[in-house]
């Protein structure tokens, strides 16, 4: 956790990769995220996040089959590594612990 940091946007992309499973390639990830975030994203931002995480060891990738679509270019399918799952889990735990640590606001008035 300390050694390799995972940025907020990277975390979102990583989670999307995990969600999409076999379908996790560049544009599909972009579509999924755009839907969920209700915002437009550039190919560049997605791609750079993917490459960075691949370098950090969160992702592995391999080429898919070439089809008539995409101008005959192959897709690169990404999948999250076990290490990534572990880190994601850790982050979720830390977050939920923190959420629980927030003092509860007073929900009702007491009559003295």
Partner 1 sequence: MKKAAITNPPKWPLSVLKIFIKKDYLEEIQGDMQEVFEDDLEVFTLKKARRKYVWETVKLLRPVLTKKLEGTQKLNNYGMIKNNLRIAFRSLIKQKEYSAINIFGLTVSMAVSMIIILFLIDQDQMDEHNPDADRIYRVLTEYDDEVKERVVASATSPFELRQLLEFNVDQVEETSQLVKGAGNVKFGEDVFSYGGLYVSPNFLKFFDFELEKGDKKNALQNVNSVVLSAELAKKLFRNQEPIGQLVEIDQHGSFSVTGIIDKTLVRSHLDFDLLIHEEMFSSVSSNEILLTNWEASSKNFYNYIKLKEGYSKKPLLSFLKTMDSKFPEEKQALYDFNVQLLSDINLGRLVGNEIGITSPNFVLYFFIVLAAVLMLSSSFNYMNLSIARGLKRAKEVGVRKVIGAGKRQIIVQFLVEAQLVMFCSLVAAFLLLQILVPIFNDLKILRDIDGAITMNFNSNLSVYFVFLSFSVAVGLVAGLYPAIYLSSFKSLKVLKGTTNAGKSPSFLFRKILVFCQYAFSVVFIITSIILYQQANLYANVDYGFTNKNMINVPISKKIPYESFRNELLKRSEIEGVSAVSSLLIVSSFEEVLLVNKNVSEDEVKSATLSIDPYTVENLDLKLLAGRNFLTTAVSDQKNSFIINEKALAALGYTDADQALNQSIDVIKVHDTGRKIAEGKIIGVVRDFNYQFVFLESGPLVMNYDPAILSSMNIKTGEISSAYAAEIIEEVWKEFDDVHPFEYETYAYSIADIDDEFGELVHIIGLVAFIAIIIACLGQFSMVVHHVQLKVKEIGIRKVLGSNLGSLMFMLSKDFMIVILAAVLVATPLAWKINDLWTSKVYLSPDVSFFNMSLGVGIILLTAFLTIFFLVRRAVNANPVESLKYE
CA 15 to each of CA 54, 66, 67: distance values in angstroms, whole numbers, following the listed order: 14, 26, 27
CA angle 96-101-107, nearest 5°? 110
33 neighbors 46 (Cβ within 8 angstroms): yes
35 is an interface residue for partner 1 by CB under 8 A: no
45 is an interface residue for partner 1 by CB under 8 A: yes
Nearest approach in angstroms of CB 28 to partner 1 is: 9
76 neighbors 63 (Cβ within 8 angstroms): yes
Q: Which of 8, 22, 65, 71 binds partner 1 (CB under 8 A)?
A: 71
43 is an interface residue for partner 1 by CB under 8 A: yes
In the complex, the residues that contact partner 1 under the rule CB under 8 A are 25-27, 30-31, 42-45, 47-48, 51-52, 63, 69-71, 73-76
């Amino acid at each position: 956790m300390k050694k390799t940091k995972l940025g907020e946007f990277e975390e979102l992309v990583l989670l999307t990769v995990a969600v999409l499973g076999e379908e996790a390639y560049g544009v599909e990830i972009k579509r999924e995220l755009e839907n969920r975030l209700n915002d437009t994203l550039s190919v560049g931002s997605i791609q750079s996040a993917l490459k960075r995480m691949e370098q950090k060891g969160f992702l592995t990738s391999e080429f898919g089959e070439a089809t008539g679509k995409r101008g005959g270019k192959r897709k690169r399918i990404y999948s999250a590594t076990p290490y990534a799952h572990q880190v994601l889990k850790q982050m979720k735990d830390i977050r939920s612990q923190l959420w629980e640590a927030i003092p509860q606001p007073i929900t009702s008035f007491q009559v003295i």
